[in-house]
């Protein structure tokens, strides 16, 4: 097996459980008011685990927009129910808050705005909890955006990734907001550029509509892809997506 085959063999398809007002939703390009709802978070999480999910991607969308966790009860209910590794983002703004979540059983915290505004938070959390911080780099038009994708940060994803790798980040979650939630396909070049620029794993997100999109992202060298709308809308099954990159 060559290195490309090995990379694809290990590539993981991670279902998204994005929570707004206590319900699972998917947004188009991260904009409130565009959401479609998909029911109870615990039921959704269990559905994906039953379908073979190796881990789950949880997001408190209200927290992402408002700067503090708003769906803690719903997220906690998921964490108490599932037995696979979980990562959570949205409204985690302090090292203390992140460490509290990790000590309560969360496997990884996802930091976006907090990491951009205070990069040292990544090192602070990683010092006591190694391999636990995923830095979320969301990009619009090639620029990292924060505050629920509403403000530009004045830095490119590649520049940011290099900084966070040095500070101990376990992975980069890269979301291309230009294609997020539209079910119109992925943009692979920004993902490939990021993979080539950093030594830590890159998790891709945004725009996945078909099994071919999943295969294409696997071919960039990314470690995983987070999939939301395509799974909830039934474009393909989780089993088929994972099989597509393991063939």
Determine contact, residues 236/215, Cβ cutoff 8 Å.
no
| Strand partners for 120 | none
Q: Which of 75, 26, 66 is nearest to 148 (CA)?
A: 66
Using alpha carbons, select from 120, 62, 128 the residue that is nearest to residue 91: 62
DSSP characters over 15-30: EEEEEETTEEEEEETT
What φ, ψ does residue 110 adopt, rounded to 5°? Answer: -110, 120
138 has catalytic annotation: yes
Query: Is 21 noted as a catalytic residue in this protein?
Result: no
Instruction: Calculate the alpha carbon distances from 132 to 35, 106, 124, 185 in Å.
Output: 29, 9, 11, 30
Please give the structure tokens belonging to residue 162: 């290099």
* Spatial CA neighbour of 170 closest among 211, 200, 209, 205: 200
Catalytic residue from among 18, 60, 62, 107: 18
Among 60, 62, 107, 138, the active-site one is 138
Helices (H) and strands (E) in the chain, counts: 12, 12
Count the residues in the chain: 247
Cite the active site residues.
18, 138
């Amino acid at each position: 097996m060559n290195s490309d085959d090995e990379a694809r063999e290990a590539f993981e398809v991670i279902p998204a459980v994005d929570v707004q007002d206590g319900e699972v939703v998917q947004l188009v390009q991260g904009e409130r008011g565009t959401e479609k709802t998909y029911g109870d978070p615990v039921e959704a999480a269990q559905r994906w685990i039953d379908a073979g999910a190796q881990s789950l991607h949880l997001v408190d969308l209200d927290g992402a927009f408002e700067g503090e966790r708003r769906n803690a009860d719903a997220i906690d209910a998921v964490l108490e129910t599932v037995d696979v590794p979980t990562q959570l983002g949205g409204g985690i703004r302090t090292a203390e808050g992140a460490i509290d979540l990790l000590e309560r059983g969360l496997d990884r915290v996802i930091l976006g705005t907090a990491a951009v505004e205070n990069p040292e938070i990544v090192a602070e959390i990683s010092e006591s909890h190694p391999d636990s911080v995923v830095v979320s780099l969301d990009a619009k038009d090639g620029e990292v955006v924060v505050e629920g994708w509403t403000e530009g940060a004045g830095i490119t994803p590649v520049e940011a990734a290099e900084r966070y790798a040095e500070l101990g980040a376990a992975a980069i979650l890269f979301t291309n907001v230009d294609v997020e939630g539209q079910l119109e396909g992925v943009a692979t070049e920004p993902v490939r550029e990021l993979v080539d620029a950093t030594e830590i794993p890159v998790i891709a997100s945004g725009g996945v509509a078909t099994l071919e999109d999943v295969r294409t992202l696997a071919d960039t060298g990314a470690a995983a892809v987070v999939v939301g709308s395509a799974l909830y809308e039934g474009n393909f099954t989780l089993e088929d997506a994972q099989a597509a990159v393991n063939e």
